[in-house]
Structure 1
Amino acid sequence: MRAAGKLPALPSDEEIALALSQSVAESDTVHKEPSPTGLITMRPPADDVAKRQAAMEKAANTKPVLTRVFQVLIAIFYPIVLLVLAIRLVTSSLFLWVEYHRPGFPVDSFGFTTDDRMTYGSYTVDYLLNLAQPRYLADLVDPFGKPIFLAGEVSHMADVKTVIVMAFMAGLALAIVMVIGMMYLARRSFGGIRRALFAGSIATLALIIGIGVFAATGWERFFTDFHEIFFTDGTWTFYTDDTLIRLFPSQFWTDSGIFIGAFVLIVASLTLAFTWPTKDRRQAVTAGRHPGRRSA
């Protein structure tokens, strides 16, 4: 029999643990090549991109409902407020003074001097603007103690006062709405005020030109129709020697109509000029809608 050889020594527990730790360390340092498909990203179809861009543009250009409402209201109210303002300028002592002292204004054939007209005419205008009762005019007498105004004249001026006060209150209310709308548009809509006033000025010019043509082609008819709308028949016609006719002859009303029309026409034309959508203003509006973009 052959003697058996010596068996190799088995590794100790410490040697086994050391070999395992070295194997784990080598596996951590192994370099892995990136997958060829890992860098590929999915690009959406061109149609989807176009739809998204169109939706974004539409959302940027869409105005809130309240913005459109205020723009429409300002455009509608502008001619009314401007007309009421012109009427307010006519119902003033300053306008009376200019009228009574201008060359060519007809004198009173029944004896009123210019000072008399200024005195009694100012009382009439003041009555339209104050809170006094009709006796404010009814108690007015001349140096001989005779009433300046007849009962029918006082009654008519009371009717005129009602119309004037309603017109001024309505104009004030509309002006307040316009101011509120402008404050809102100034914060929410770049160029919104300009567009609203531009539309309002166009409407005003069309309105005043139409009224002007109608009045110029038949002033007496226009004057009569105006009174028939606001006053009862028979309450607004007087004799030539009545005080109201002597203070406010036909020439006064003709001049008043010309002043109101000219004032509204000039102010509306200036508004149109200053709000005209020029190229620079359109670019400014575009830049305001898209702050990240700049015009080339």
Structure 2
Amino acid sequence: MTEKTPTPPNRQDPHLDPADDTAEPAFDWMKPAGTGAGTAANAQGTTPAGHTSPVPGTDAGKGQPAASAGIPASRAGSPASRAGSPASRAGSPASQAGTPVSQAGSRADRKAAESAVEPAAEPQGRGTHFREPLPTSALQVRPPQDEVERRNAERELANNTKPVLPRVMQVLLAVFYPLVLLVLAVRAVASPLFLWVEYNRPGFPGDGYGFSADDRMTYGSYAVDYLSNWSGPRYLGELVNRSGDALFQEGEVSHMADVKLVILSTFGGGALLILLGIIAIIYLRRRSTGGVRRGLFAGSVATLVIILGLGTLAALGWQQFFTEFHRIFFANGTWTFALDDTLIRLFPGQFWVDSGIVIGALVLIASVATLILTWPTRKRRGLARKTNDKDTDAQDASATDSEAGTTDLPDAAQRRTRGNSATV
């Protein structure tokens, strides 16, 4: 006979279960852990009443168990081994004392033994049921009162504490604003347009040494363009007048180079402040509601204070103010010239007075406009009108009720669970 030999059609499968119980596992390691009583009963060959297993009139007296003789105790109708009998449900004293219950030859006998050895905590007449933890069982455990108060205090502190970075951005925006306005005003004055307006306005003093308005506009435009381009001192040093003489002396060219350094540094710093201010505005628009408005409002107030202070000093003593201003940026002796020098003939004292007035006026107008646009009205601060105060109180009360309902969630969940259990 080989592996390819066909199986006979009338061949019967071998009988592998001597206990005639098809539900019984074939091996001991396949049996549940709670079948110790049945295993002990099979090993010792005892009956539920504690007697040995031989049954008169059978082959069991020869040392075979009653189950192998074909007469299991559960099939014989013994009251102690019936799965549904009251003795097995209530737990007989013999089974509770650890006495082997029966020769558990079937699954029904093992279940009867397991139910007999369980604690007698269940009322008589009720079976043992497995109780799975409810989904809301964790909510039924309430923390101590001091823990609840501590958590509420931390939550309130976190809600009241404002982040630091938005405040820093607001302060920077308020500081940058007056400086940016001053730089923009200086740039507006240092232009050929303002130069043309000054030379052609009524009352502007003329040149007593022979420059006409057209000569002033031509030579003055060279000086103003030099302040904003990247040319060297030769841009002014090689200029000549109608007679062929040098237009600017060496000292004048050197001073204009110093002025150019200050002007370009001022414009570069202003461009950097504008870039940082835009970054601060973008950040505050995303992170802080009303942060841009508060920063610009504070900056406009600071600008008004600075302009009014400097204007007062300039009005009280313009010559002293002009001198101290030059001493801050230039070395002594490098910015004083004779009346017949080209710089004084192109830019007399009245030109600098008018420049100061225009700069102050531009900054003042911009700061006042910003102050008006960012004034903290009730609408801009997000506050409701007095007519809507009752609605706000009602909303706060509803929010408080919802929080209270959230706090009592474990009890509500427990009541719902009890109601569902009662319905079932």
State the TM-score bracket (shorter-chain normalisation): 0.7 to 0.9
Instruction: Tell me, in whole angstroms, the C-alpha distance in 2 between the residues paired with 1:242 and 1:294.
Output: 76
What SS does structure 2 have at the residue aligned with 1:216? helix
Matched, 1:279 2:410: no
Q: Shift of residue 91 of structure 1?
A: 0.5
Residue in structure 2 matching 1:215, options 305, 314, 331: 314
Residue in structure 2 matching 1:104, options 191, 203, 220: 203
Of Structure 1 and Structure 2, the greater helix share is in 1
Q: Which runs of 5+ in 1 are unaligned?
A: 1-10, 29-37, 286-292
Q: What does residue 91 of structure 1 align with?
A: 190
**Cα distance 1:275–1:141, how it changes in 2: closer, same or farther (>3 A)?**
same
Identity between Structure 1 and Structure 2 (%): 57
**Cα distance 1:101–1:55, how it changes in 2: closer, same or farther (>3 A)?**
farther
Paired letter, 1:154: V
Matched, 1:231 2:362: no
Q: What does residue 219 of structure 2 align with?
A: 120
Preserved CA contact (<8 Å) 1:156 1:235:
yes
**Cα distance 1:214–1:130, how it changes in 2: closer, same or farther (>3 A)?**
same
Preserved CA contact (<8 Å) 1:283 1:295:
no
RMSD over aligned Cα, in angstroms? Answer: 3.3
Task: Identify the range of structure 1 (190-199 vs 65-74) with the bigger mean alpha-carbon deviation.
Answer: 65-74
Q: Shift of residue 12 of structure 1?
A: 7.1
Residue in structure 2 matching 1:76, options 167, 175, 195: 175
**Cα distance 1:70–1:248, how it changes in 2: closer, same or farther (>3 A)?**
same
What SS does structure 1 have at the residue aligned with 2:382? helix
**Cα distance 1:53–1:200, how it changes in 2: closer, same or farther (>3 A)?**
farther
Residue in structure 2 matching 1:177, options 272, 276, 284: 276
Q: What does residue 6 of structure 1 align with?
A: none
What SS does structure 1 have at the residue aligned with 2:337? coil
Q: How does 1:15-94 map to 2 (within 5 A)?
A: 27=126, 45=145, 48-49=148-149, 52-53=151-152, 55-94=154-193
Task: Identify the range of structure 1 (145-154 vs 216-225) with the bigger mean alpha-carbon deviation.
Answer: 145-154
Paired letter, 2:170: Q
TM-score relative to the length of structure 1: 0.80
Q: Shift of residue 161 of structure 1?
A: 0.6
The structure with the larger Rg is 2
Instruction: Tell me, in whole angstroms, the C-alpha distance in 2 between the residues paired with 1:178 and 1:266.
Output: 20
What SS does structure 2 have at the residue aligned with 1:281? coil
Q: What does residue 141 of structure 1 align with?
A: 240
**Cα distance 1:215–1:270, how it changes in 2: closer, same or farther (>3 A)?**
same
What SS does structure 1 have at the residue aligned with 2:345? helix
Q: What does residue 31 of structure 1 align with?
A: none
Aligned length: 271
Question: Which of 1 and 2 has higher RCO (CA within 8 Å, sep 6+)?
Answer: 1
Q: Shift of residue 153 of structure 1?
A: 0.9
Q: What does residue 243 of structure 1 align with?
A: 342
